[in-house]
Structure 1
Amino acid sequence: MIVINVKDNESIDRALKRFKKKFERTKVLREIRNRAYFEKPSIAKRNAKMKAAYKQKLYAEQNF
């Protein structure tokens, strides 16, 4: 459970921003999206390899 202590003279907007940032770091939303549908392990591995190759290609182009 995420706990945000609102400090004295702190606006609600600032506290909400800190809450959103903490929530994003926990990666809960990403996990929920991944569990929304089943993906076979072989497909997941293939997608991971394709993503890695794409990132490597971009990195190579930047440092060329």
Structure 2
Amino acid sequence: MLIIPIKEGENIDRPLKRFKRKFDKTGAKRQLQTRKQFNKPSVVRRAQVQKAQYIQRLRDAEDI
């Protein structure tokens, strides 16, 4: 659980911004999305390989 202290007389926007930043850093949203549906390890590995190939193609095109 995230605890965000609110200072006396502070506008609600600043603590909300701090909460969003902390929430993003924890990776909770990403973890919830991955747990929503099971992916086979072979599918995950294949997606990683495809992403690596795409990045390599971009780097190669940049060098040319």
Q: TM-score range by the shorter chain?
A: 0.7 to 0.9
Gaps of 5+ in 2: none
Which aligned segments of 4 or more residues in structure 1 are displaced greater than 4 angstroms?
Answer: none
- Whether 2:5 is the aligned partner of 1:5: answer yes
- Equivalent runs, 1:49-60 vs 2, <5 Å: 49-60=49-60
Aligned to 2:34: 34
Query: What is the alpha-carbon root mean square deviation over aligned residues?
Result: 1.5
Percentage of matched positions with identical amino acids: 42
Q: Go from structure 1 to structure 2 and tell me whether the alpha carbon gap of 1:42 and 1:8 turns closer, same or farther (over 3 Å shift).
A: same
**Counterparts of 2:40 and 2:62 in 1: how far apart (Å)?**
33
Q: 1:56 offset after TM fit, Å? A: 2.0
Letter in 2 for 1:31: Q
TM-score after normalising by structure 2: 0.84
Count of residues in correspondence between the two structures: 64
**CA–CA distance in structure 1, aligned partners of residues 60 and 4 of structure 2:** 42
TM-score normalized with structure 1 length: 0.84
The C-alpha deviation readout for 1:9-59, integer Å capped at 9, x for no partner, is 421111101100100010011011011111110111000110111122223
